[in-house]
C-alpha cells in the first residue's frame, strides 16, 4: 500500500525523502512524489511510475532544495496511476500526503465545488487537501481538528502549511504512522524501515493525536490541542535487517532467514520442555475452557491458520474454524462468549483483519493476536498478543512470516492439548523437542534442495496453468504453495484437496499440465498416491514432494523432492521450503519483479 515519509532537519530533505521512500518500495506503489519547503515556498514534484521516474523527472534542475518535506508512494485506489493522481495533493499554500481511503469524499467534493473549488484529480485525497484549504484561517491545529471532524474513513496524513515553514503536521486513523525522533532531525513514516538508517527511536501515533515536528522538537497533541507525553519505542533491529545482505532479492534472503526466525519465535516459549506462550490475560484455565476457536486472517496468514486448524483439532480436540477476514467481518458470524478468536497478521495493519478483530471484541470474544510488527494496530487492540519474531519482512511474498506463524500454531496446539489434557505431557515434551530441532533441519534442507528447486522451476517456468494437490495438512500447505507461485510468477495456479479433483477439476488435467503433489502424511499416503495416478493417467507431469521413506515415489513422478523424516504433524515446517524456493526461482526465470510483484502491496490497509 501507499508509503509516507516526512523529514525535517539539516540534511537535504529530497535525498532523505527519496531514500526513505525506497525503503518502503516493498509496500507496493505505482507513482511517487514529494513536497519540500524551498525558500519559504512549497515545491511539489510528482510522477507516475517508480521512484527512478520521479528522479528522472526532477533531474538536477527541478530537484527541490530544502530541509523539510513530505514524500509519498501511491498504490492506486481512486483513479488510475498518473502524474495528476499522484501525491502530494494541494497547492503551494497547503500540501498533503495521504494513506488510506476517505469514504465521504464525494460529499466533500460536491460541497467544495459549490464553493468554487475546482478538482483536478480523481483521488479521494484531493478532497482533504481542498477541505484543509477551505477551513484554514491561520491556525493549522484548529484546521486539522475541523477536517478530522468532517472526513470519514481511514487515513495517515502528512501536512505542510506554507505559513509554517519547516514544520510537519501529522495525524492518523486506522492507517499506521510513526514519528521518528533523531538528533536535530525528526521524521514521520508509515513504517520503520524508512527511517531506521537515521534513528531507531520513534513514537507510535495514536488515533486522535496530532504530531507537530520541527528540527528540534516533536510535540504530540491530543484532539483538544493539549500536549501529551508518550512512550518512546526503540526498534530492536538495525539497517542490515532491512537490506538484502548480498542476496539478489529480499525474498530469497528471507527464505534463508527462516531457521533463525523459527528459533527466535519458538525457543523462548518452551520452558522445561513444555510449551509456555506466556500470554497476558490468558491463563491456562481460561485456555482450557474455550468451546471453539475462530482463526481469522488474510492470504498467507490465513494459510498458516489452515495448518493451525488441523494441528489444534488433532491434538487439543477443540473445534476450529478458519476464515478469511473479508468474509468473516460481513457475514454476521455466530460467536459464543466462550469462543477464542485467533487473529493472524504479519503487518498487524491489514484492514480486513483489523475489522475482524474489532468485530470479535465487540461480541465479547477473547481475541489473541499473532503478529510480527511490534506495536501495530492489531497487536495493540487484541486482548492478548503473541509476537512472532521474524524481524522485518520486506518482500511482498510472505515466507519467514508464514513459518513463524506456523510455529505459533504448533505451540498453541501443544499448550491447548496440555491444559485440556488431551495429550500426555511426556508426548507434548517430545513434540516440543522435535519443534526445537526444526531450525537445524530446515537449514540443511534449504541448502540441499535449492538447486533441485531451481532445476524444477526451469522445467515448469513456461506453464500456463499449474495445480497443487495434497490431503490434510498437505492440502493446507498446497494453498500456500499455490499462492506463492501465482503472486510472484503470474502463472495461474490452483490448490486442491487431492480427493476433490475428480469432482470437476480433473477435466483440466491434460498432457503436460504440471501438478505439484504433496504426500508427506503417512496415514494418507496411499490415498494421495491414487490421486497422483489419476492425474498421471491424464498426462500430467508430476513434481512429488514426499517423505524420505516413500516407496513408489520414483515411479509416480517425473520430478521428486524428499523431505527428511520428522513426525507427520510437523511436516509443514519443512515441506514449505521447496514450495517457496520453487516459486522464487520460477519468478526469477520468468524475469518477474520478485520482491514487488505487480498490483500487490505488502500491507493491505484498505478493504
Ligand atoms: O500482513 P498480513 O499478514 O495481515 O497480510 C496478509 C496478506 O495480505 C499477505 O499474507 C499476502 O497474502 C502475502 N502477499 C502473501 O505472500
| Per-residue pLDDT tens digits for 157-170 | 999 999 999 999 99
- Has residue 261 got a pLDDT over 90? yes
| Distance of alpha carbon 307 from alpha carbon 436, whole angstroms | 18
Cα(584) to ligand 1 centroid in Å equals: 16
Cβ neighbourhood burial of 312 (10 Å; 0-12, 13-18, 19+): buried
| Per-residue pLDDT tens digits for 369-414 | 999 998 888 999 999 999 999 999 999 999 999 999 999 999 999 9
What strands lie across the sheet with 384-387, from one edge to the other? 320-324, 292-297, 339-345, 366-371, 384-387
Q: Which atom of ligand 1 is nearest to the CA of 373?
A: 1
| Per-residue pLDDT tens digits for 14-23 | 999 999 999 8
Cα(300) to ligand 1 centroid in Å equals: 5
Q: What is the bridge-based pairing of β-strands 366-371 and 384-387? A: parallel
Cα(251) to ligand 1 centroid in Å equals: 14
| Per-residue pLDDT tens digits for 193-224 | 899 999 999 999 998 899 999 999 999 999 88
| Distance of alpha carbon 575 from alpha carbon 442, whole angstroms | 9
Percent of the chain having pLDDT more than 90?
Answer: 84
Q: Do residues 90 and 132 touch, judged by C-beta distance below 8 A?
A: yes
Counting ligand 1 atoms within 8 A of each CB, the residue from 254, 301, 352 with the most, and so the one to mutate, is: 301
Cα(472) to ligand 1 centroid in Å equals: 22
- Has residue 322 got a pLDDT over 80? yes
255: confidence class by pLDDT, cuts 50, 70, 90? very high
| Per-residue pLDDT tens digits for 76-132 | 888 888 888 899 999 889 999 999 989 999 999 999 999 999 999 999 999 999 999
413, three cell numbers:
496446539
Counting ligand 1 atoms within 8 A of each CB, the residue from 343, 604, 605 with the most, and so the one to mutate, is: 604
Which of 2, 298, 432, 546 is flagged as catalytic? 2
| Distance of alpha carbon 522 from alpha carbon 501, whole angstroms | 20
Q: What is the pLDDT of residue 239?
A: 74
Q: Spell out the residues 6+ positions from residue 503 whose beta carbon is closer than 8 angstroms to its own.
A: none
**Other residues' Cβ atoms within 10 Å of the Cβ of residue 589:** 15
Q: What is the pLDDT of residue 80?
A: 86
Counting ligand 1 atoms within 8 A of each CB, the residue from 351, 398, 405, 596 with the most, and so the one to mutate, is: 398
Q: Which atom of ligand 1 is nearest to the CA of 299?
A: 12
Q: Is 602 a catalytic residue?
A: yes
Q: What is the pLDDT of residue 20?
A: 96
Termini Cα distance of the chain: 11
If you take atom 10 of ligand 1, which residue's CA is the nearest one?
300
Cα(85) to ligand 1 centroid in Å equals: 26
If you take atom 9 of ligand 1, which residue's CA is the nearest one?
299
**Domain boundaries for CATH 3.60.20.10 within the chain:** 3-242
- Has residue 140 got a pLDDT over 70? yes
Counting ligand 1 atoms within 8 A of each CB, the residue from 346, 352, 596 with the most, and so the one to mutate, is: 346
If you take atom 4 of ligand 1, which residue's CA is the nearest one?
345
The arithmetic mean of pLDDT across residues 589-597, rounded, is: 93
Q: Do residues 363 and 341 touch, judged by C-beta distance below 8 A?
A: no
Q: Which atom of ligand 1 is nearest to the CA of 397?
A: 16
Average pLDDT, the chain: 94
For the ranges 254-268, 461-475, 542-556, the lowest mean pLDDT is seen at 542-556
| DSSP H/E element including 553 | helix 553-556
For the domain spanning 244-423, the CATH number is 3.40.50.10490
pTM of the model: 0.83
Cα(173) to ligand 1 centroid in Å equals: 21
Q: Do residues 390 and 255 touch, judged by C-beta distance below 8 A?
A: no
Domain 3-242 = CATH 3.40.449.10 = no
Q: Spell out the residues 6+ positions from residue 143 whose beta carbon is closer than 8 angstroms to its own.
A: 132, 135, 136, 137
Question: Which residue, 412, 416, 417, 439, is CA-closest to 427?
Answer: 417
> What residues flank ligand 1, with Cβ below 6 Å?
298-301, 345-347, 350, 353, 396-398, 483, 487, 600, 603-604
Cα(297) to ligand 1 centroid in Å equals: 9
For the ranges 148-162, 168-182, 230-244, the lowest mean pLDDT is seen at 230-244
Q: Write down the residue that cell numbers 486506522 correspond to.
A: 174
Q: What is the pLDDT of residue 602?
A: 79
Q: Which atom of ligand 1 is nearest to the CA of 401?
A: 3
Cβ neighbourhood burial of 286 (10 Å; 0-12, 13-18, 19+): middle
Question: Which residue, 368, 32, 2, is CA-closest to 176?
Answer: 2
Fold of 442-594: Rossmann fold (3.40.50)
If you take atom 16 of ligand 1, which residue's CA is the nearest one?
397
The arithmetic mean of pLDDT across residues 248-256, rounded, is: 96
340, three cell numbers:
477464542
| Per-residue pLDDT tens digits for 291-318 | 999 999 999 999 999 999 999 999 999 9
Which of 109, 263, 596, 602 is flagged as catalytic? 602
- Has residue 148 got a pLDDT over 80? yes
| Per-residue pLDDT tens digits for 503-521 | 988 888 888 899 999 999 9
137: confidence class by pLDDT, cuts 50, 70, 90? very high
If you take atom 8 of ligand 1, which residue's CA is the nearest one?
299
- Has residue 476 got a pLDDT over 90? yes
| Per-residue pLDDT tens digits for 519-531 | 999 999 889 999 9
Length of the chain: 607
Q: Write down the residue that cell numbers 531457521 correspond to.
A: 259
Q: Which atom of ligand 1 is nearest to the CA of 297?
A: 4
Cα(441) to ligand 1 centroid in Å equals: 26
| Of 422 and 380, more confident | 422
**Domain boundaries for CATH 3.40.50.10490 within the chain:** 244-423, 442-594
Q: What is the pLDDT of residue 128?
A: 96
Q: What DSSP string describes 286-341? A: HHHH-SEEEEEE-HHHHHHHHHHHHHHHHHH---EEEEEHHHHTTS-----TTEEE
560, three cell numbers:
521428486
If you take atom 14 of ligand 1, which residue's CA is the nearest one?
397
553: confidence class by pLDDT, cuts 50, 70, 90? low
- Has residue 606 got a pLDDT over 80? no
Amino acid at each position: 500500500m501507499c508509503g509516507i515519509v516526512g523529514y525535517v532537519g539539516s540534511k537535504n530533505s529530497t535525498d532523505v525523502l527519496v531514500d526513505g521512500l525506497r525503503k518502503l518500495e516493498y509496500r507496493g506503489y505505482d507513482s511517487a512524489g514529494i513536497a519540500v519547503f524551498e525558500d519559504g515556498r512549497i515545491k511539489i514534484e510528482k510522477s507516475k511510475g517508480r521512484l527512478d521516474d520521479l528522479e528522472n523527472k526532477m533531474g538536477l534542475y527541478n530537484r527541490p532544495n530544502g530541509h523539510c518535506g513530505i514524500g509519498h508512494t501511491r498504490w492506486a485506489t481512486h483513479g488510475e496511476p498518473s502524474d495528476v493522481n499522484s501525491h502530494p495533493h494541494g497547492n503551494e499554500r497547503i500540501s498533503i500526503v495521504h494513506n488510506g481511503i476517505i469514504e465521504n469524499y464525494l460529499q466533500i467534493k460536491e460541497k467544495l465545488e459549490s464553493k468554487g473549488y475546482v478538482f483536478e484529480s480523481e483521488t479521494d485525497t484531493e478532497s482533504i487537501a481542498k477541505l484543509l484549504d477551505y477551513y484554514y484561517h491561520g491556525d493549522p491545529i484548529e484546521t486539522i481538528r475541523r477536517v478530522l471532524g468532517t472526513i470519514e474513513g481511514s487515513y495517515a496524513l502528512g501536512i505542510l502549511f506554507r505559513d509554517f515553514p519547516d514544520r510537519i503536521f501529522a495525524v492518523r486513523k486506522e492507517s499506521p504512522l510513526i514519528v521518528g525522533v533523531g538528533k536535530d532531525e525528526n521524521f514521520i513514516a508509515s513504517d520503520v524501515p524508512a527511517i531506521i538508517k537515521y534513528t531507531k527511536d520513534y513514537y507510535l501515533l495514536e488515533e486522535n493525536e496530532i504530531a507537530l515536528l520541527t528540527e528540534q522538537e516533536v510535540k504530540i497533541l491530543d484532539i483538544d490541542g493539549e500536549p501529551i507525553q508518550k512512550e518512546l519505542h526503540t526498534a530492536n533491529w538495525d539497517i542490515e535487517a532491512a537490506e538484502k545482505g548480498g542476496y539478489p532479492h529480499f525474498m530469497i534472503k528471507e527464505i534463508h532467514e527462516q531457521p533463525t526466525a523459527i528459533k527466535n519465535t519458538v525457543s523462548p516459549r518452551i520452558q522445561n520442555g513444555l510449551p509456555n506462550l506466556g500470554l497476558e490475560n490468558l491463563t491456562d484455565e481460561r485456555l482450557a475452557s474455550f468451546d471453539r476457536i475462530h482463526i481469522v486472517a488474510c492470504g498467507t496468514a490465513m494459510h498458516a491458520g489452515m495448518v493451525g486448524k488441523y494441528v489444534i483439532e488433532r491434538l487439543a480436540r477443540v473445534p476450529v474454524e478458519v476464515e478469511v477476514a473479508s468474509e468473516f467481518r460481513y457475514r454476521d458470524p455466530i460467536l459464543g462468549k466462550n469462543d477464542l478468536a485467533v487473529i493472524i497478521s504479519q503487518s498487524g495493519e491489514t484492514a480486513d483483519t483489523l475489522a475482524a478483530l474489532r468485530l470479535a471484541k465487540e461480541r465479547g470474544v477473547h481475541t489473541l493476536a499473532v503478529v510480527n510488527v511490534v506495536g501495530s494496530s492489531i497487536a495493540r487492540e487484541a486482548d492478548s498478543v503473541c509476537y512472532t519474531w521474524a524481524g522485518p519482512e520486506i518482500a511482498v511474498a510472505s515466507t519467514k512470516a508464514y513459518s513463524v506463524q506456523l510455529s505459533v500454531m504448533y505451540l498453541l496446539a501443544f499448550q491447548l492439548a496440555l491444559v485440556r489434557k488431551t495429550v500426555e505431557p511426556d508426548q507434548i515434551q517430545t513434540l516440543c523437542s522435535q519443534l526445537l530441532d526444526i531450525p537445524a533441519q530446515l537449514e540443511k534442507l534449504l541448502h540441499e534442495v535449492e538447486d533441485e528447486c531451481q532445476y524444477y522451476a526451469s522445467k515448469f517456468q513456461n506453464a500456463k496453468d499449474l495445480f497443487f494437490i495434497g490431503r490434510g495438512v498437505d492440502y493446507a500447505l498446497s494453498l500456500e504453495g499455490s499462492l506463492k507461485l501465482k503472486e510472484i510468477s503470474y502463472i495461474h495456479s490452483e490448490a486442491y484437496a487431492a480427493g476433490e479433483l475428480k469432482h470437476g477439476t480433473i477435466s483440466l488435467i491434460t498432457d503436460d499440465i504440471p501438478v505439484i503433489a504433496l504426500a508427506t502424511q503417512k496415514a494418507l499416503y496411499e490415498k494421495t498416491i491414487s490421486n497422483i495416478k489419476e492425474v498421471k493417467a491424464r498426462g500430467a507431469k508430476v513434481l512429488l514432494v514426499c517423505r524420505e521413506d516413500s516407496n513408489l515415489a520414483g515411479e509416480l513422478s517425473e520430478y521428486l523432492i524428499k523431505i527428511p523424516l520428522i513426525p507427520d504433524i510437523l511436516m509443514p515446517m519443512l515441506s514449505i521450503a521447496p514450495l517457496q524456493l520453487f516459486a522464487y526461482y520460477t519468478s526469477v526465470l520468468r524475469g518477474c519483479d520478485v520482491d514487488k510483484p505487480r498490483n500487490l502491496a505488502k500491507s493491505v490497509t484498505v478493504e
